[in-house]
Structures are given as structure tokens and as C-alpha cells.
Structure 1
Amino acid sequence: MVVAHTLKEHAIQMADIASSSAMRFFRGSLGVEFKLDESPVTQADKAVEAEVRSYLNQHFPEHGVFGEEHGQEAGDGRHMWVIDPIDGTRSFLSGYPLFGFLLAHLVDGQPQLGLVGMPALNEVYVGVIGEGAALNGEPIRTSQQKRLDQSILYVNEGDKIHRDHLDLFNCLMQAGQTRRFAYDCYPHALLAAGHVDAVVDYDLQPYDYLAVAPLIAAAGGVMTDWQGRALTLESDGAVVSAATPDLHADLLKLINT
């Protein structure tokens, strides 16, 4: 059996591989395709995932793998690695440095390890349930903010929330002390490190949120779906992250009013 700290070391190694691979393409000449949902995919997405899968096949051949670009390999049914090679492809292809690499390890369907790598920033956030979280090897924790009206609130995918949940969008525009619009994984990583207090996000895929949830939990925060349920491969992709249980409860009340 592979122990948790060994998995963490392997995850950090894969983040290094993914970062080197992505940065070979960043702000260069990219071949871009569009999926059926019109989201872009670049040569870089495919290259990063291929290199990480190769590492996993070498070191964990019995484990399952689920990646954004190359689908799912079942493995032993207990262990699953979930990969988003470039979270924020639109950022990546436009030269914006806030794209990430996401990696989760699930045991019996439950996320136990989560990693957020930020290749252009040289930052690697990693958390293991029961062991805490770190940024580039230094321990991190969420803030102790309990009050929504005093919080730093990020609204991810605000255009989609505005389109599909206008009343909620209007409520969010009145919430928090400081509000920012954003996309992708970085606001959640900043929450794990104590800089952001809450993030409301929407229309995500499992490879978008399964790495972030254990990172935030290991750092002392809470991340669930909009109904307060734990995140799994089957979640609907509407999520909320908060630094404390009290703040999380207030956000759930706002979302479900």
C-alpha cells in the first residue's frame, strides 16, 4: 500500500512535469481546437496530460486515471487520479498567467489529496486530508473570517451565473466587503492560503473541483456543492468554498434563498 506522504511527493513531481510541459507552449504558437461545447483545447493541454499519464502508468499502473483530454481508465476500482492539465485554457491561450494544473487522488470515490499548480507563478499548493496544506512546502491555512459582510468574496463564472441565476447574481453583488470576478482555480487556491475568504463557482467538471476540495479542507476550510453536499465525481459542478464553517453556512443561505 502506498502511504499518503509518498502520494504527496509523487503529486509534487507530477506538478513539476506539468509545469515544464505547459511553459514550453505558454505565449508561443498554439494549435487550438474547439470541443463540442465550444471550449478550446490546445496542443499544450494534450501534451501535459500525456506526460502526467505516462508518469502515473509508470508509478501507479494499477490506479485509475480520469483526465479532461483523454478520458477515464478504470484501474483497480479503489484508487483514481483526476487530472486537469490546464485549468483555464482560455487564459492560457491569451497569454494570461493565471492558468493552473489540477491533480486529485481519490480513494473509494473520496478526494484525499488535492494539488493546484500555477506554472507561470512557480506556485504549488497541495493538501492531504488529515495532514494539512502547504504552498511550495510552507504550511498554509484559511483565514478565520466568519462574517459574510466582512469577507473577501470571489465570484467565478459570473457571466454564467448571471445568465442562469439572475436573482442569485444580484444577491452576490451585494454580498461581502470586497468582491472580485474571476475564473478557474486560482481564487480557490488563494482561499486555502488565507488571502480570499469565499468563492462561489459554477458550471464546473469533476476535474475542475476534485483537486480543490481536499486542498481547501486540508487548509481548514469548507468546499461543497450549492446544497452543502460533499463533492464527488457525480456532483453538478455548482460549488462554494469558504474559509470557515460559519461563513460557508451563510453563503449556503444566500445561495438557497
Structure 2
Amino acid sequence: MRNSDLALANRLADAAGEAIRPLFRGDWQAETKADHSAVTDADRAAEAAMRAIIEQVCPDDGIIGEEYGTRNEGAGRQWVLDPIDGTQSFVAGRAMFGTLIALMQDGWPVLGVIDQPIQRERWVGRIGDGTLFNGKPVKTRSCPAIEGMSVATTSPHCFDAQQSDAYLNIIANAYPKRPWPVYGGDCYNYALLASGHLDLVIETGLKVYDYAALVPVVEGAGGMMADWQGNPLDAGSDGTVLALGDPARLEDVLEAMG
């Protein structure tokens, strides 16, 4: 990873935010994509702004973007872009979405940014280095057991029947007296976990542009990300995702999932 990569990642986040902020709770058009998810003018404008910078500054690098696809597919360095992770929140006027920017080297995430442009909150993580929130170090929190964990997922409706059973097993263990998990949030949940406000995020069906940026942010803060089998996340992961603030709880979580 080059010394200039961090500055470029911040520049990309700035450009995306400048494209998104004027449209938030404003006038924009939306379409439904083939996968039935929404895409807005803000998604497209933000990704286009970031791609233009990468193509100018690092023309040999690859790009994997949610809205405009892949460029330089065989490159060892790939910038992975999700201009608005949580488009449904953007559409609803909720500032719980984020711009995700990752740099992958040979398929492994090494740099990640979670940027909330409305609240001007930015988490930046690098493998082998600490995670910063608006320039200040943050840490995940320790968790002695599954019981008492604060658990988040964007929506339980994303799980199939077998996955729902695994999720509900976690909830039953974490909240034995009163089931009260956190719903909604998309990438924002992982940022909150990195800052020590949540203990576990559990999701499925994620694409590489949904999770690549999260890995350096969570792990740089002392947490851990894995798939539902406990394997580290890379470009070929299956889309099941666990984020733990305390890596010591991984085996407990996998066992509870059944």
C-alpha cells in the first residue's frame, strides 16, 4: 500500500460527499435495479465522481463499483466503491447510510473508509494500523459473553429460513430476558461497532462492495470480521458476514448459531 493511498481515499470520500449532500432530502430520481434494489441520482453521481479521480490519479488500478461495474479487472490493486450503502435510508431521509471505499491488494482489503456525509462522520482503517474516527483513534469494546451483547442487523427479512434460525439463536443467547436487537443501519452499524457502541453485527447477502471497506475499519479498531464459518473476508467470500468487537467471542457466536 502506497503512502498516498490514504490521502486518495479521503479525497474520494470528500468528492462523494459533495455529490450526495445537495440531494439529501431534496429532488432526485430513483430507479429499481434488476436485483430489486433502488438506485438514485446521488448513488450515480457519487460513484462517477470517485471513479473520475481514480482514473486520473491511478489509471492502472482496478475499480469495482456497485453502479458502474468493473474496470481493469485483472489489476492487483482494486478500488472498491459503494457510493451509498443504505440507499433505502437515503430515500427515507435518514442519515444512517454511508459511502464505502476500499482498497484491495490481490483480493484482500487493506484500506477502508466508512463516510457518513450528512453528519460528517468518517471512519478510516488500515490493516496493520489503527482506525480513526474524524482523525481520532477508536477501539472496539471487550465482551465477556454472548449474553448481554448488543447485536445489530440491517433487516431480519434478508435471511432465508436456515439463516433466520441461526440469527434467532444468537438473539436468544444475547437477550435471554428481553429480545431487543438493533435493526437498520447498513454500514453505519459496523462503524458504531468500531467505536465501541455495538458488539456484534450479523448479515448475509453482501457483495464485495458492501463489506470490503468494513474489514480494515473494524479490524483496525481491534475487532474481527469473518464469514459465518469463521473464515476471513476477501474478494471471494460468500456474502455472509460477522463483525465482532471482541474477537474472543467468535467461537461462542459460531457455536450459538448452530
Coarse TM-score class (shorter-chain normalised): over 0.9
Cα deviation, 1:29-70, whole Å, max 9, x if unaligned, reads 111111111101011111000000011111111100000000
Query: Residue 95 of structure 1 aligns with which residue?
Result: 93
User: CA 1:8 to 1:26, structure 2 compared with 1: closer, same or farther past 3 Å?
Assistant: same
Structure 1, unpaired ranges of 5+: none
Counterpart Cα distance in 1 of 2:119 and 2:170: 29
Tell me which of 237, 242, 245 is aligned to 1:243.
245
Tell me which of 58, 61, 75 is aligned to 2:59.
61
Structure 2, unpaired ranges of 5+: none
Alignment of 1:103-118 (within 5 A): 103-118=101-116
Counterpart Cα distance in 2 of 1:66 and 1:207: 7
> Is residue 26 of structure 1 aligned with residue 24 of structure 2?
yes
Query: Residue 221 of structure 1 aligns with which residue?
Result: 223
More deviation, 179-188/48-57: 179-188
Following superposition, the deviation at residue 176 of structure 1 comes to: 2.0
Residues paired across the two proteins, number: 254
Counterpart Cα distance in 2 of 1:162 and 1:110: 28
User: CA 1:125 to 1:190, structure 2 compared with 1: closer, same or farther past 3 Å?
Assistant: same
Q: Is the 8 A contact 2:223 2:245 kept in 1?
A: yes
Counterpart Cα distance in 1 of 2:165 and 2:78: 37
SS at match of 1:49: helix
SS at match of 2:147: helix
Cα deviation, 1:196-229, whole Å, max 9, x if unaligned, reads 1111111111100000011111111100110111
Alignment of 1:167-246 (within 5 A): 167-177=165-175, 179-246=181-248
Could you list the structure 1 runs, at least 4 aligned residues long, displaced by more than 3 angstroms after superposition: none
More deviation, 30-39/171-180: 171-180
Tell me which of 11, 14, 28 is aligned to 1:13.
11
> Is residue 73 of structure 1 aligned with residue 71 of structure 2?
yes
Counterpart Cα distance in 2 of 1:146 and 1:108: 35
SS at match of 1:175: helix
Q: Is the 8 A contact 1:63 1:76 kept in 2?
A: no
Query: Residue 161 of structure 1 aligns with which residue?
Result: 159
Q: Identity rate of aligned residues, in percent?
A: 36
For normalisation by structure 1, the TM-score amounts to: 0.94
Q: Is the 8 A contact 1:158 1:182 kept in 2?
A: no
